[in-house]
Amino acid sequence: MDFVYVDSSSVDQIAYDEEQGEAHVIFKRGAYYIYSGVTQEVWERFRDSTSKGTFVNEEFRAKGYMVRRA
């Protein structure tokens, strides 16, 4: 799993663990969250979104994805 830096005001790096179905998100303020139950399709929409922070709020948080701090 490789992290990539993204152009975002709130998100610093993202990665996807396809085997586990987990999106890894490192925020600019240092918080690191792992969202579980993320399909490849949702990951691709997240990766390609113009606003990573909005996607996290409107998809991962609002739709109740399981989350844990790393």
| pLDDT at residue 53 in the model | 96
Neighbouring C-alpha atoms within 13 Å toward the C-beta of 53:
10
Between the two ends of the chain, the Cα-to-Cα distance in Å is 15
The pLDDT tens digits of the residues spanning 51-63 come to 999 999 999 999 9
Could you give the CA distance from residue 16 to residue 35 in angstroms, rounded to a whole number? Answer: 10
* 63 beta partners: none
- Residue holding tokens 């996607």? 55
Residue 1 three-state SS: coil
| pLDDT at residue 18 in the model | 97
Backbone angles phi, psi at 8, to 5 degrees: -150, 150
pTM: 0.95
| pLDDT at residue 68 in the model | 97
Average pLDDT for the chain: 97
Give mean pLDDT, residues 28-50.
97
pLDDT band per the 50, 70, 90 thresholds, residue 47: very high
